[in-house]
Amino acid sequence: MRPLRLTMLLGLIVFLQAASVDAGDVKFKVIVHPKNPVSSVDRDFLRNAYLKKETVWRKDQTIRPIDLPAKSAIRVEFSRAVLKKSPSQLKTYWNQQIFSGKGVPPPEVGSVSDVVSYVLTNPGAVGYIPADADPRGAKVIEVK
């Protein structure tokens, strides 16, 4: 009976964590180059772009995702809310991709300012920044 209680408790914890990631609780915003015609993206499209399963925007522009450092709180939240993976799951995913020759993770930059600069200088770029950060001219898009 104990293993069943433990399983139920773990299930409840996972459910509560997933429930706290709804759109009203998001602490980040997604930005793209100002000339990108996209104004919103589906969460699955964004997930696939960051996992490099989706590689082009609608107009044949190469998608160039950018990441904050792995220990960044915003990256952890973005990874859980959009990618549906913990940092350790992402590390495992990318190790498998690299080992099998299928791809490499998005580049990492050291700060939110670096994310914005990258997005502003790369037309196909997509990044995420804290909800209260200034996008400095980058276009904020809606994630559905």
For 44, the token pair is: 């699955």
Contact 50, 65 (CB under 8 A): yes
For residue range 113-140, what is the model confidence (pLDDT) as tens digits? 999 999 999 999 999 999 999 999 999 9
Asked whether residue 6 is domain-assigned, the answer is no
Q: Number of helices and strands (H, E) in the chain?
A: 5, 5
C-alpha to C-alpha distance for 68 and 79, rounded to whole angstroms:
11
**123 is a domain residue:** yes
Closest CA to 116 of 102, 136, 96: 136
The total domain count for the chain is 1
pLDDT band at 2 (very low <50, low <70, confident <90, very high): low
Q: In this predicted structure, what is the pLDDT of residue 144?
A: 94
- pLDDT tens column, 35-74: 999 999 999 999 999 999 999 998 789 999 999 999 999 9
Q: What is the CATH number of the domain that holds 137?
A: 3.40.190.10
| pTM for the structure as a whole | 0.81
Whether residue 12 is predicted with pLDDT greater than 90 in this model: the reply is no
Query: Does residue 68 sit within a domain?
Result: yes
User: What order do you get walking across the sheet with 139-143 strand by strand?
Assistant: 40-41, 139-143, 28-32, 125-130, 64-65
